[in-house]
Amino acid sequence: MRKLAGSIALAVLVLGRPLAAQEAAEQPAAATAEPAAPVLSNSNLGPTLGPASAPAPLPRSPAGVGGDAVAAPPPAIDPAPPPPPPPPITLVLNADLGAQRLTVIENGKIKYTWAISSGRRGFATPTGTFHPQWAARMWYSRQYEYAAMPNAVFFHRGTAFHGTGAIGLLGQPASHGCVRLAPGNAAALFKLVHTHGFTATKVVVHGGARMRAPGVARHGSSAEVASVRTLRGTGARVSRAVQRPASYWED
């Protein structure tokens, strides 16, 4: 009986050594392994945590403050379209102060040639190139005693083409700076300018007026009365220009 018990103890001793060595070899590997994250199954303790949750991404720095992001360029702004070109000139009013003539050229062809009265001595008509600025079927001069200016086409400040009743003075300087026309011619010019438009009409005033007679003072002035008395005293016929003082009230 003692021999049997000794044999069993020897067998246990021999077989137990390899198992102990195997367990000793597995323990360091288990110690270095990362422990699994605990899993909470109780619903009262909050949401269940997974075994390996990914870390939350870090917020990126704003553009231009130590970050790698590049600010987007501002949106391109389309430039404003250029203004349309002006219409071509289709009507030219050529006033020759030396010849006291107005030539109306429509679409490159001479349409009319009219006698005019430009500014007399001391009231020169401005020269240069202009465009009509505004017009009035009937205007009354605010500067010269509300003189009538029918079919007035203003091209430089208060200077205008307009009709006149002093048709006997056409062909010589007689106005206060405006360009006078016979009433029918002024009406035709007024209509032409409105047909073509102000921007398509060019006014050219050139030359120097040849003064055919001394300047006449305003109606009623002492100089004019003296000149009339002198003419009457000599028995000479009073000129038509002096007999029609109303013409000097006009512009």
Looking at residue 229, its pLDDT comes to 38
Q: pTM here?
A: 0.56
Band of pLDDT at residue 16, cut at 50, 70 and 90: low
Within-domain flag for 224 = no
Cα separation, 224 vs 180, whole angstroms: 22
In this predicted model, what pLDDT tens digit does every residue of 205-251 receive, in sequence order? 999 877 654 443 343 333 333 333 333 443 433 333 333 333 344 57
Question: What local confidence, expressed as pLDDT, does residue 79 receive?
Answer: 86
For residue 246, give the amino acid letter. A
Q: Which range marks the domain in which residue 126 is found? A: 91-213
CATH of the domain at 105: 2.40.440.10
Gyration radius from the chain CA atoms: 55
For the chain, how many structural domains are there in total?
1
Res 78: pLDDT: 82
- Which of 122, 167, 160 lies closest to 142 in space, CA to CA? 160
The verdict on residue 175 lying in a domain is yes
Check residue 18 and give its pLDDT. Answer: 54
d(CA 94, CA 29): 114
pLDDT in tens, 82-123: 888 888 999 999 999 999 999 999 999 999 999 999 999 999
Asked if residue 36 belongs to a domain, the reply is no
Type and span of the H or E element at 140: strand 134-140
Smallest Cα–Cα separation from 134: which of 115, 162, 106?
162
Q: In this structure, is residue 222 part of a structural domain? A: no
Name the 3-class secondary structure at 119.
strand
Q: Please, are residues 214 and 121 in contact by the beta-carbon 8 Å criterion?
A: yes
pLDDT value at position 15? Answer: 56
Would you state the pLDDT for residue 74?
A: 81
Return the closest-CA partner of residue 175 out of 92, 91, 102: 102
Residue 189, token pair as written in the block? 């010019």
**Per the domain annotation, does 232 fall within a domain?**
no
- The verdict on residue 80 lying in a domain is no
Tell me if 189 sits within 8 A of 153, measured CB to CB.
yes
Mean pLDDT of 167-178: 96
Query: Has residue 98 been placed in a domain?
Result: yes
Q: CA-to-CA distance for 21 and 241, rounded, in angstroms?
A: 149
Cα–Cα distance for residue pair 222/240, rounded to 1 Å: 19
pLDDT reported for residue 245: 38
Question: Which of 224 and 11 is assigned the larger pLDDT?
Answer: 11
The string over 30-47, giving b where at least 16 C-beta atoms fall within 10 Å of a residue's C-beta and e elsewhere, is eeeeeeeeeeeeeeeeee
- Residue 198 placed within a domain: yes
Measured from the Cβ of residue 188, the count of other Cβ atoms closer than 10 Å reads: 17
Which pLDDT belongs to residue 96? 98
pLDDT value at position 168?
A: 96
pLDDT of 115-172, one tens digit each? Answer: 999 999 999 999 999 999 999 999 998 888 788 999 999 999 999 999 999 999 999 9
For residue range 46-73, list pLDDT tens digits in order: 555 455 555 666 556 555 555 566 677 8
Dihedral-angle region of residue 227 (phi above 0 means left; psi in -120 to 50 means alpha; beta otherwise):
alpha
